[in-house]
Amino acid sequence: MFGWEFPPFNKGGLGTACHGLTKGLANHGCHVTFVIPKAPLGASSSHVNLIVADNLTLADLKDVDLKEVDALLIPYISGEEYGERLGAVRKVLMQKGLDTQHVDVYGKNLYEEVWRYGQQARLIAMHEDFDVIHAHDWMTYQAGMQAKQVSGKPLVVHIHATEFDRTGGHPNQLIYDIEREGLHAADQVCAVSNYTKQMVVRHYGIPAEKVTVVHNAVEFNERTPSHVQAKLYGDDKVVLFLGRLTLQKGPDYFLSAAKRVLEHDKNVTFVIAGDGDMTPFIIHKAAEMGIANKVLFTGFLRGPEIDRAYQMADLYVMPSVSEPFGITPLEAMRNNTPVIISKTSGVSEVVRHCLKVDFWDIDQMANKMLSVLRHAPLHRELQRRGKEEVHTFTWDVPAKKCLEVYSGVLSRAS
């Protein structure tokens, strides 16, 4: 299995989904070797054989010896952002009198890193024993295709978000071409929702029968609590947005709805947890709207901080413009927090005990926020029903669907 990130070394839902899915597969007796491009020294996982692709030697492959990696590989980063980070790292090293020769080990932009990962995947596939290749999202499709080429084993590609989702319908041609090539090269495609399946069929020319819908799930662990009674300050109710601050996630619509809410109820604080290319815009917009004192920006959260954020919130809102699935509402429900979700999301296909809204209708969004915050019976009912429902979303279910996909491609290959 080829991924781009794996907890705790992740910046978004892709790593979370890969972690949950591999746990589910392990529960079904499937042995997974999971390959990621970079990770710090000592990275390991209890339920998968974790290989870090960078700087591998043949000896490393035999012993699965994990190496410390100093790469700039970050999920969702653009080529331009990569170049800026590369320049900043070089500058700091030069100031310290250190060697900068090998800083750009993957090349000068994200696309070269993707290509390099593919070449490392080719080497790994030549020396690992496996039955099926499973690649997650466009950054790993080159790796999956290279592994298929040298091994002859069937390839399953998993699409968690299309380039159309990420860009609001204005795809980067190079990324689109990589996505399209990987989808066509695959023996079977797993899509995280019917919404995403239709995108794949419509925009990439993939036959519908080649796409299997595998809805995501959520993990339950020792951090999963009963709701804690913690407040930021005062008696304010707390409404949470948690996700990347990008066009796809709709933080601007969340902010506009927040202003509407505050016009009717001043005792609400809005927490925006995450980062992304829209961060400066959203911060300035909050100031322009005159609500900066009621909006708290936490930056990117990870690990226990995520559950803590849900637990402190009275309501979680996911106003995504285009959301292939969306694990965050399940995480909120797991933490006993009521949710409002965008209708243009995969998770809205399967979750019943929540409120659903058109992302562009900020008045409707604000009204539903106020209803949940003001009416205790509604709040309690969403909590109770949501908590019951979310326990049906275990990773064993999508893992079983993936095993059925594996069996299908193996039977066709034999």
pLDDT in tens, 98-146: 544 444 433 456 777 888 888 888 888 988 899 999 999 999 999 999 9
**Which CATH fold topology does 237-390 show?**
Rossmann fold (3.40.50)
Token pair 């803590």 in the structure block, residue: 308
Q: Residue 49 — left, alpha, or beta (φ > 0 → left; ψ -120 to 50 → alpha)?
A: beta
Q: Which of 231, 373, 374, 234 is nearest to 316 (CA)?
A: 373
Q: What are phi and psi of 47, to 5 degrees?
A: -115, -5
Q: Which helix (H) or strand (E) holds 50?
A: strand 49-52
Which tens digit of pLDDT belongs to each residue from 220-245?
A: 865 555 445 556 667 899 999 999 99
One-character DSSP codes across 123-158: HHHHH---S-EEEESHHHHHHHHHHHHHH---EEEE
Neighbours of 290 (CB within 10 A): 10
> What pLDDT score was predicted for residue 36?
87
Percent of the chain with pLDDT over 90: 63
State the CATH class of domain 13-217+396-413: alpha beta
3 state SS of 383: helix
Distance CA 292, CA 253 (A): 15
Tokens of 219: 């993990």
**Cα 380 to the chain's mean position, in Å?**
29
What is the pLDDT averaged over residues 346-363?
Answer: 97
Which tens digit of pLDDT belongs to each residue from 172-221?
A: 888 999 999 999 999 999 999 999 999 999 999 999 999 999 999 998 86
User: Is a pLDDT exceeding 90 seen at residue 166?
Assistant: no
Contacts 24+ apart (CB under 8 A), 226-232: 226/336, 227/311, 227/335, 227/336, 227/337, 227/383, 228/308, 228/311, 228/312, 230/308, 230/311, 230/312, 231/312, 232/269, 232/271, 232/296, 232/312
Q: Which of 124, 107, 104, 132 is nearest to 36 (CA)?
A: 124
**Cα 207 to the chain's mean position, in Å?**
25
Q: Report which DSSP code applies to 2.
A: B
Q: What are phi and psi of 9, to 5 degrees?
A: -95, 65
Token pair 């951090």 in the structure block, residue: 223
Which pTM does this prediction carry?
Answer: 0.80
User: Is a pLDDT exceeding 80 seen at residue 340?
Assistant: yes
E-assigned strands of 268-404?
A: 268-273, 295-299, 315-318, 339-342, 355-357
Neighbours of 172 (CB within 10 A): 15
| 373 in Cβ contact with 265 (< 8 Å) | yes
> What pLDDT score was predicted for residue 230?
56
Domain ranges (residues) in the chain: 13-217+396-413, 237-390
Q: What are phi and psi of 241, to 5 degrees?
A: -115, 130
**What amino acid is encoded at 249 in this protein?**
K
Arithmetic mean of pLDDT over the chain: 85
Please indicate whether the domains covering 13-217+396-413 and 237-390 agree at the CATH topology level: yes
Q: Residue 29 — left, alpha, or beta (φ > 0 → left; ψ -120 to 50 → alpha)?
A: left
β-pair type (133-136, 155-159): parallel
E-assigned strands of 211-322?
A: 211-213, 237-242, 268-273, 295-299, 315-318
How many residues in total does the chain contain? 414
> What pLDDT score was predicted for residue 107?
42
